[in-house]
């Protein structure tokens, strides 16, 4: 018997013997907050998710999903992608461009590339609108109804590139028959002594019985936390202004129309990266900052400017046998990002500039049956078009001192510009049906066909130490492949011996379309596209409530095999995208909570993830073989403890205390897994968040004291070996370090932040 078969058999035996369940902390259907705001609480029986494109009780959904509702999101101060990851065991956030562009890693699948035409293996859906490009993600969350993390391939109902899983963010929309408003004001300060103010709120107004409007806003002006000792400015600041409006119209008894539009502007300084390791350059930085990772030495502060717009029109038409749903979406992005790429006071690359422009139009038409018998299904089709542009300017404005980087070509005074544009067409019909063989036993089968076609160009002009002769390549022509397609099935067996206990086993396939490498170092390499990535996942799980919901335990065990894994590596000084061959990820995820007394909840999330490359030749210069290496950004052990206590006082007032504490073992930063000075900095131990909320008897306002990263732990969330890991020992010695020298450019997570938030409500 093969090792793979043995592992799957062991998972099935363990799952059949376990009396646990795949947990997901909760999400209620969209609704207005109950009086008391963040103190409102739902029971497990109230939890409803749409993880299968159908509203279902959480414990009835046979997939691994974790979710929070709007009240929990406020109480835990989940206002960006980085904080979203703590709601589920295993996921991590991966900064791509400082605090402005964030990727999410789920079950070993992530992307740290915002180049157009290269897809994200975690599907991101905001108000049912698919966001395919990392450059279009913005981490500002406000007036949110629910957040859900779906783990494992979602290749049927979600489809596009949801190889590792999917992230669903659902914002509040205008609610019929309700007129109310809320405003929050926040003052905060971080451990670097920088202060900030924030405000958000909404107004929901009923315009008669069948029409309602809602306007929500968010403004943030937070001081940065990475001090540039050369300029005196604090980088990685957070200056965001967002507004969103929605209309809901009950056109008839059967037809409901919901339209929404949102705009976000983000500005501020760039990424305050810092370098660690060995060599003369690091010695210079360390002498200035004393080893404090929140102090850096950069020639340029950088700059971030982002303008994002997104709009959707959703139509729901009820028939006697089901609901027809149409979702028409549009989004656009115009972004400018400048950074000091070398991470130190080095004039070699001062600075680099990134330009992103994107437009997307999409349509999804869906039918959800409601036959009322043993069989129901969801079917539909997705159409999408994207026009994506990216330009990168590298400025090599001087010759480095001989002791720093003499191994590179000495003529580095020229600048270089790399640019590319991609047009992406996609279509995806799908169907998934569920049949109840008995009241306890159900079978689910689904299938999706995905087709993607990409055309465009890539070019570079000028010269640098890293690129060859200038070129212009018309992609999708000259005999090169420009389309990718795949069928992605899913099969689930679901057994519920009682209402509170369920077991399931599933097999699913994920598909991530191929693409073009816009930063290829030659015309010949530019004509070789990335192959499509495919993943087969095998999972078992159980979801259970015991002793009248005193104890909730959810467990999932899985194994996934990926072919043609798309990865980004640094080869000869150039970030290069390629196919890594094969990857295997296996793991166990546990979510548990107990409710020992009224208002008291104690929970824990744990994930064990073993993610390795099964085949990865040529992951660095010299044809280095990375087969057997760990996949970057994946902690082997990830544990979070959660404590919530809600007290109803005799006066009618309420107190709520929340605390969560995270531990995550270190993860690799690059695929080579060579000696990496930065890896120990990725360990997260006692990264705690707390809040205390008081609500008076009227529920008209509340006051919350809170802190994130309470114990002021310093850790890196991303990093890159910029110079030396691919050099020979002789070359490393020439730059002032021993043969095992290592220099890494780290992106550092925020320090402790303390704040006070006042919330006022009217109407409702």
Asked if pLDDT for residue 759 goes beyond 50, the answer is yes
- Confidence bin at 709 (pLDDT 50/70/90): very high
In sequence order, what are the beta bridge partners of 306? Answer: 266, 335
pTM value? Answer: 0.87
127-148 pLDDT tens trace = 999 987 777 776 688 999 999 9
- Confidence bin at 695 (pLDDT 50/70/90): very high
In sequence order, what are the beta bridge partners of 301? Answer: none
Distances (CA, A) of 185 to 220, 628, 705: 10, 50, 12
Q: What are phi and psi of 599, to 5 degrees?
A: 85, -5
Q: What is the mean pLDDT of residues 28-46?
A: 42
pLDDT score for 22: 34
Mean pLDDT lowest among 31-40, 735-744, 745-754: 31-40
* Rg of the chain taking only CA atoms, in angstroms: 26
pLDDT score for 347: 56
Q: What is the mean pLDDT of residues 653-676?
A: 84
- Confidence bin at 433 (pLDDT 50/70/90): very high
Taking the C-alpha atoms of residue 760 and residue 764, their distance in angstroms, rounded to an integer, is 12
Taking the C-alpha atoms of residue 387 and residue 347, their distance in angstroms, rounded to an integer, is 35
Taking the C-alpha atoms of residue 50 and residue 63, their distance in angstroms, rounded to an integer, is 11
> Quick one: tokens of 360?
């997307």
For all residues of the chain together, what is the average pLDDT? Answer: 82
Taking the C-alpha atoms of residue 75 and residue 553, their distance in angstroms, rounded to an integer, is 23
Do 423 and 454 touch, CB atoms closer than 8 A?
Answer: yes
Taking the C-alpha atoms of residue 468 and residue 450, their distance in angstroms, rounded to an integer, is 36
- Confidence bin at 480 (pLDDT 50/70/90): low
pLDDT score for 731: 44
Asked if pLDDT for residue 350 goes beyond 70, the answer is no
| Contacts of residue 532, Cβ cutoff 8 Å, sequence gap at least 6 | 484, 486, 511, 512, 513, 514, 564
pLDDT score for 94: 74
- Confidence bin at 99 (pLDDT 50/70/90): low
Asked if pLDDT for residue 100 goes beyond 80, the answer is no
Do 382 and 409 touch, CB atoms closer than 8 A?
Answer: no
356-376 pLDDT tens trace = 899 999 999 999 999 989 999
Asked if pLDDT for residue 257 goes beyond 80, the answer is yes
Do 559 and 4 touch, CB atoms closer than 8 A?
Answer: yes
- Confidence bin at 97 (pLDDT 50/70/90): low
Buried b (16+ CB within 10 A) or exposed e, 658-670: bbbbbbbbbbbbb
pLDDT score for 427: 95
Taking the C-alpha atoms of residue 697 and residue 759, their distance in angstroms, rounded to an integer, is 14
| Contacts of residue 115, Cβ cutoff 8 Å, sequence gap at least 6 | 390, 420, 517, 518, 519, 577
Q: What is the mean pLDDT of residues 532-547?
A: 94
Asked if pLDDT for residue 19 goes beyond 50, the answer is no
158-188 pLDDT tens trace = 867 788 899 899 999 999 999 999 999 999 9
Q: What is the mean pLDDT of residues 610-623?
A: 80
Distances (CA, A) of 337 to 97, 135, 323, 415: 8, 10, 44, 17
Mean pLDDT lowest among 17-31, 499-513, 534-548, 639-653: 17-31
Do 174 and 248 touch, CB atoms closer than 8 A?
Answer: yes
230-254 pLDDT tens trace = 999 999 998 999 999 999 999 999 9
Q: What is the mean pLDDT of residues 20-28?
A: 36
Per cent of the chain over pLDDT 90 is 46
Count other C-beta atoms under 10 Å from residue 32's C-beta: 16
Taking the C-alpha atoms of residue 435 and residue 372, their distance in angstroms, rounded to an integer, is 11
Higher pLDDT, 356 or 12: 356
Asked if pLDDT for residue 348 goes beyond 60, the answer is no
Q: What are phi and psi of 301, to 5 degrees?
A: -75, -20
pLDDT score for 390: 86
383-431 pLDDT tens trace = 999 998 888 776 654 433 333 333 333 443 446 677 888 899 999 999 9
Taking the C-alpha atoms of residue 342 and residue 124, their distance in angstroms, rounded to an integer, is 31
> Quick one: tokens of 434?
């569920």
Mean pLDDT lowest among 9-13, 320-324, 676-680: 9-13
- Confidence bin at 355 (pLDDT 50/70/90): confident
Q: Which stretch of DSSP H or E encloses residue 661?
A: strand 654-664
pLDDT score for 143: 95
Asked if pLDDT for residue 27 goes beyond 90, the answer is no
Taking the C-alpha atoms of residue 758 and residue 187, their distance in angstroms, rounded to an integer, is 9
- Confidence bin at 736 (pLDDT 50/70/90): very low
Q: Does the domain formed by 3-357+364-763 have CATH 2.40.170.20?
A: yes
3-state SS of 572-598 is CCEEEEEECCEEEEEEEEEEEEEEEEC
Per cent of the chain over pLDDT 70 is 80
Do 62 and 49 touch, CB atoms closer than 8 A?
Answer: no
pLDDT score for 408: 37
Asked if pLDDT for residue 724 goes beyond 50, the answer is no
pLDDT score for 669: 78
Higher pLDDT, 561 or 722: 561
Count other C-beta atoms under 10 Å from residue 331's C-beta: 23
What's the DSSP call for residue 679? G
Do 100 and 337 touch, CB atoms closer than 8 A?
Answer: yes
Q: Is the alpha carbon torsion for 68, 74, 76, 80 positive or negative?
A: positive
Asked if pLDDT for residue 11 goes beyond 60, the answer is no
Sorted by where each begins, the domain ranges of the chain are 3-357+364-763
Taking the C-alpha atoms of residue 422 and residue 115, their distance in angstroms, rounded to an integer, is 10
pLDDT score for 475: 78
> Quick one: tokens of 456?
């465009």
pLDDT score for 738: 41
Do 81 and 95 touch, CB atoms closer than 8 A?
Answer: no
308-324 pLDDT tens trace = 999 999 999 999 999 99
| Contacts of residue 401, Cβ cutoff 8 Å, sequence gap at least 6 | none
| Contacts of residue 540, Cβ cutoff 8 Å, sequence gap at least 6 | 11, 12, 14, 15, 503, 504, 505, 506, 556, 557, 558
Helices (H), 206-343: 280-289
Taking the C-alpha atoms of residue 636 and residue 201, their distance in angstroms, rounded to an integer, is 39
Give the pairing type, strands 226-228 and 295-296. parallel
pLDDT score for 101: 65
Residue among 508, 507, 489, 421 at smallest CA distance from 450 = 489
- Confidence bin at 31 (pLDDT 50/70/90): very low
Match 């082997």 to its residue by tokens. Answer: 636
- Confidence bin at 351 (pLDDT 50/70/90): low
Match 């002789």 to its residue by tokens. Answer: 730
> Quick one: tokens of 601?
């909840």
Phi-psi region of 289 (alpha: psi -120 to 50; beta: other; left: phi over 0): alpha
Please tell me the total number of residues recorded for the chain in this structure: 764
Taking the C-alpha atoms of residue 6 and residue 369, their distance in angstroms, rounded to an integer, is 39
- Using a 10 angstrom Cβ sphere, with 0-12 exposed, 13-18 middle and 19 or more buried, the burial of residue 29 is middle
Taking the C-alpha atoms of residue 541 and residue 12, their distance in angstroms, rounded to an integer, is 9
Q: What is the mean pLDDT of residues 337-341?
A: 81
Do 760 and 700 touch, CB atoms closer than 8 A?
Answer: yes
> Quick one: tokens of 711?
């114990």
Asked if pLDDT for residue 36 goes beyond 60, the answer is no
Taking the C-alpha atoms of residue 259 and residue 173, their distance in angstroms, rounded to an integer, is 9
In sequence order, what are the beta bridge partners of 316? Answer: 256, 325
Higher pLDDT, 733 or 445: 445
Do 100 and 137 touch, CB atoms closer than 8 A?
Answer: no
């Amino acid at each position: 018997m093969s090792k793979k078969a043995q592992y799957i058999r062991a998972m099935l035996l363990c799952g059949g013997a376990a009396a646990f369940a795949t947990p997901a902390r909760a999400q209620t259907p969209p609704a207005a907050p109950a009086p008391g705001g963040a103190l409102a609480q739902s029971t497990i029986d109230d939890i409803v998710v749409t993880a299968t494109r159908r509203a279902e009780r959480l414990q009835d959904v046979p997939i691994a999903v974790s979710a929070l509702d709007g009240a929990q999101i406020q109480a835990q101060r989940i206002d960006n992608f980085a904080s979203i990851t703590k709601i589920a065991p295993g996921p991590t956030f991966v900064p791509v461009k400082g605090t402005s562009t964030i990727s999410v890693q789920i079950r070993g699948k992530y992307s740290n590339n915002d180049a157009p035409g290269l897809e994200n293996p975690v599907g991101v859906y905001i108000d049912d609108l698919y966001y395919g490009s990392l450059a279009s993600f913005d981490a500002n969350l406000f007036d949110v109804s629910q957040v859900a993390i779906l783990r494992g391939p979602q290749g049927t109902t979600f489809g596009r590139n949801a190889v590792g899983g999917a992230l669903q963010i659902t914002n509040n929309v205008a609610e019929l028959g309700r007129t109310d408003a809320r405003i929050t004001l926040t003052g905060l300060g971080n451990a670097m002594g920088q202060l900030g103010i924030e405000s958000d709120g909404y107004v929901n107004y009923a315009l008669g019985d069948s029409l309602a409007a809602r306007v929500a806003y968010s403004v943030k002006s937070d001081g940065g936390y990475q001090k540039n000792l050369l300029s005196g400015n604090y980088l990685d600041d957070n200056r965001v202004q967002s507004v969103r409006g929605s209309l809901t119209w009950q056109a008839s008894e059967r037809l409901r129309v919901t339209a929404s539009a949102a705009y976000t502007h983000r500005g501020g300084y760039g990424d305050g990266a810092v370098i660690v390791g060995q060599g003369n350059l690091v010695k210079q930085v360390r002498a200035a900052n004393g080893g404090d990772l929140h102090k850096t030495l950069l020639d340029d502060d950088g700059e971030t400017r982002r303008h994002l717009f997104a709009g959707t029109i959703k139509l729901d038409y009820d028939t006697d046998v089901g609901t027809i749903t149409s979702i028409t979406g549009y989004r656009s992005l115009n972004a400018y990002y400048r950074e000091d790429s070398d991470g130190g006071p080095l004039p070699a690359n001062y600075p680099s500039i990134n330009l992103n422009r994107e437009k997307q139009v999409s349509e999804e038409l869906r039918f959800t049956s409601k036959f009322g018998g043993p069989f129901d299904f969801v079917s539909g089709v997705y159409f999408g078009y994207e026009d994506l542009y990216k330009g990168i300017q590298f400025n090599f404005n001087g010759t480095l001192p001989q002791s720093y980087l003499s191994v590179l070509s000495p003529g580095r005074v020229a600048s270089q510009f790399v640019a590319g544009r991609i047009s992406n067409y996609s279509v995806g019909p799908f169907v998934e049906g569920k049949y109840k063989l008995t009241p306890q036993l159900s079978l689910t089968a689904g299938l999706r066909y995905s087709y993607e076609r990409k055309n465009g160009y890539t070019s570079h002009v000028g010269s640098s130490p890293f690129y060859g002769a200038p070129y212009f390549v018309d992609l999708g022509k000259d005999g090169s492949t420009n389309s990718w397609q795949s069928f992605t099935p899913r099969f689930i067996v679901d057994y519920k011996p009682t209402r509170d206990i369920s077991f399931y086993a599933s097999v699913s396939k994920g598909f991530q379309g191929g693409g073009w490498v816009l930063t290829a170092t030659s015309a010949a390499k530019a004509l070789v596209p990335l192959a499509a990535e495919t993943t087969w996942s095998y999972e078992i799980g159980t979801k259970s409530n015991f002793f009248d919901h005193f104890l909730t335990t959810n467990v999932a065990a899985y194994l996934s095999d990926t072919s043609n894994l798309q990865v980004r590596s640094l080869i000869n000084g150039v970030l290069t995208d390629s196919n890594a061959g094969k990857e295997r990820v296996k793991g166990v995820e546990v979510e548990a909570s107990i409710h020992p007394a009224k208002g008291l909840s104690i929970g824990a999330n744990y994930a064990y993830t073993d993610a390795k490359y099964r085949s990865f030749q040529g992951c660095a210069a010299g044809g280095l073989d990375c087969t057997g290496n760990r996949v970057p950004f994946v902690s082997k052990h990830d544990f979070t403890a959660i404590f919530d206590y809600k007290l109803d006082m005799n006066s009618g007032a309420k107190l709520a205390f929340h605390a969560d504490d995270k531990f995550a073992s270190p993860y690799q930063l690059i695929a080579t897994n060579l000696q990496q000075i930065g890896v120990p900095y990725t360990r997260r131990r006692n990264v705690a968040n707390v809040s205390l909320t008081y609500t008076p008897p009227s529920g008209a306002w509340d006051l919350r004291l809170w802190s994130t990263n309470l114990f002021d732990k310093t850790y890196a969330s991303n990093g890159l070996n910029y110079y030396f890991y691919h050099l020979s020992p002789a070359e490393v010695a020439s730059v002032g370090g021993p043969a095992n020298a290592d220099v890494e450019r780290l992106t550092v997570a925020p320090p402790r932040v303390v704040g006070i938030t006042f919330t006022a409500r009217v109407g409702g």
